[in-house]
Amino acid sequence: MLAYNRVLTAFTNRFSSQPLLFASPGRINLLGEHTDHNEGFVLPAAIDKEVHFAIAFNNSQTYNFVSLDLDQTFSTETIAPSDSGWANYLLGSMAQLVKRGIEIPGFDLVFGGDIPIGAGISSSAAIECGMLFALNTLLNCGFSTVQMAQMAQKAEHEYAGVNCGIMDQFAVLHGERDQVIKLDCRSLQYSLHPLKLNGYRFILCDSLVTHALASSGYNTRRAECEEAVRALSSQFPVQALRDATPQQIDALATQMSPEALKRARYVVAENARVLQACEALEAGDLVQLGHLMFATHDGMQYGFEASCAEVDQLVDIARQCQGVLGARIMGGGFGGCSINLVADEQLEAFQAAVIRDYYTPRRLHPTFIVTQINDGTHQVSL
């Protein structure tokens, strides 16, 4: 409750009405990086790092936003892209409602939370989904969580300029406590699976590196995947890399750029790994899950080329530590976090090894985030 009190107190100090409260989480992804925009499978889960929203209509046409974490305010009467980076996540989500014929009266909003920005655990999706969920509730729009995930994804495309897939927004809205989501990003069919870690846990190491490449590199990678699909579809029934086989890629290897070829090989292998990871989880085989995580990292480093020296180093340190079953870069790449599957009793030793061995020219000190798997975006009653 304390966490919600922060936004509630800030709201009542500044505005006169009584707000409604909402919570919207970040996400981790067990496996399946860059498979979502190739219509493949992913295995994410919502976590206990959240953005909290206090919101109430204000009988005007003005939208007043207060970001507690950045200590900044933004007011506007127009729903259009702005110079303020963070306000765009809110405005972009509102624009999706407007496109669907919803009139949004003026409102006051205070939000803030504990999802680190730029760490690759989807603080932006948390904000987009929280905004949509809150307005969907307040205005009784009746959009489903799947529709809201699609709208939040569009907000990211149109207002943040990142041509992302649907994994983050879907996970944020559909997460459930202690459950992993297996999502088919083509059909959007999904199932929830209990995560039994039996003495192990996922810990994130934040490299604190946020590369300028994160959004431009993402869009380039996506375009390279599309190039591979164009080549493959000239001879095979391939609509997205999800449909391709390694043999088909070999057959058309000379018809695409070396970059597109590498990206295609990685995506096809990664999609197969997600399915193997599901079997491993089902069988309680965490050793196998760990192997798959390391293999994903190798793929992200050498095939998709979306890792970076700092996160490679974090993963290399993890490889040397006792009790670490798997480690890999998580999320879009080019910085952010590694996700590590570590035995409970080795957690401290693992953290000590990272602190001791991680070296960057800028002498960044990595931070650790121990996550619990938690519920998706929801309204909170105090």
Q: State the residues that interact with ligand GLA by CB under 6 A.
A: 33-34, 36-37, 164-165, 167-168, 331-332
> What residue type is assigned to position 15 of the chain?
F
Quote the least distance from Cβ 236 to ligand GLA, whole Å: 24
SS3 of residue 211 by DSSP: coil
Candidate list 168, 206, 250, 375, residue with the active-site label = 168
β-pairing verdict for 41-42 and 179-184: antiparallel
State which residue, 36 or 206, has the beta carbon closest to ligand GLA.
36
Quote the least distance from Cβ 331 to ligand GLA, whole Å: 4
Query: Which residue matches tokens 């196998």?
Result: 288
State which residue, 205 or 329, has the beta carbon closest to ligand GLA.
329
Q: CA-CA distances (angstroms) from residue 81 to 69, 88, 271?
A: 21, 6, 35
State which residue, 165 or 376, has the beta carbon closest to ligand GLA.
165
Quote the least distance from Cβ 382 to ligand GLA, whole Å: 32
Task: 354-363: list long-range contacts, CB under 8 Å, 24+ apart.
Answer: 354/205, 354/314, 354/317, 354/318, 357/313, 357/317, 358/310, 358/313, 358/314, 358/317, 359/313, 360/207, 360/209, 360/310, 360/313
**Angstrom distance (rounded) from CA 177 to CA 212:** 34
∠ CA(120), CA(227), CA(89), 5° rounding? 35
- Residue 71 CB-half CA count within 13 A: 0
Quote the least distance from Cβ 332 to ligand GLA, whole Å: 3
Say if residues 315 and 326 touch (Cβ distance below 8 Å). no
Is 71 marked active-site? no
Quote the least distance from Cβ 249 to ligand GLA, whole Å: 20
State which residue, 54 or 132, has the beta carbon closest to ligand GLA.
132
Quote the least distance from Cβ 378 to ligand GLA, whole Å: 21
The count of residues in the chain is: 382
State which residue, 11 or 262, has the beta carbon closest to ligand GLA.
262
State which residue, 33 or 227, has the beta carbon closest to ligand GLA.
33
- Contacts of residue 187, defined as CB under 8 A and 6 or more positions apart, other chains included, come to none
**Angstrom distance (rounded) from CA 63 to CA 90:** 10
Catalytic residues: 168
